[in-house]
Amino acid sequence: MSILIQFLMIAALAPAHPVQAGILWDNWYTVTERSTPHSYYNEKAEISGERVKIQVNTFIREGKRIRSENIGGAARNSISLEPLFYNYRTQVRGEEKVIDGTVDSKGRIFTVKSRTGAISAKPLKAEMIPNLILASFFPVWIHKNYKKISGVQPKAFQAILEDQVEGEVPVIRGSAYEMRSDAFATSTQTRKLRVEFNKVVAFWWVAQTGEAIKIEVPELERSVKKTTREAAEHFLDP
């Protein structure tokens, strides 16, 4: 599953009141595609001093096998969430694919190194630009900008797609916008958001605690629901 899709499905928003340290959330989610179980994932975000850390472990059904994707990273604990580093790992045709991204000590140059099996690609470098985040940190960006997202004007952002660094470091624009409450939002006492990223639109129903109750991506016919660890781990059972 690409980070773009994972990005749209990420289902955690933080509370309106900032948390200074500790775990922001540690949640499990199931993903359905065209009414068929597709994958499940665990996402854990925490604040540790001057850093915010995130870890997302995804398990995807591919035929009769389950493939895992793992991404972890760190950013500065600021409203801009300046990237520090990330690592991405998965399996591609039986070989391990590894992508590591780091930002220099001055926060100016972003370097990405990747390897598939024993073959390493040429390192990529890109100049950091203001207000640029890692795509996996989008929920934490919501946490930091919670009060600035409204139904008056979309709140814009731009992000690096961590797993799509083939020949270049991709920077994608997006926005978040609060919508009018619908029947589901009213019945569940949630807040409905419209999130657009790379021209793909998702709708999130978010509880006051900041956790998403449901996410829909109409164009991809995908639905994400928060669940328990036990339910998630059995979601792809035959």
- Rounding to the nearest 10 degrees, give the CA dihedral for residues 91, 41, 155, 209: -160
In the block, residue with structure tokens 């300046």:
82
CA distance 96 to 70: 12
- Residue 191 has a pLDDT of 84
Q: Name the CA radius of gyration of the chain, rounded.
A: 17
Q: Any idea what DSSP says for residue 187?
A: H
- pLDDT tens readout for residues 80-118: 999 999 999 999 888 999 999 999 988 899 999 999 999
**pTM (2 d.p.):** 0.86
Model confidence band, residue 20 (pLDDT cutoffs 50, 70, 90): low
- pLDDT tens readout for residues 190-204: 889 999 998 899 998
In the block, residue with structure tokens 């979601």:
235
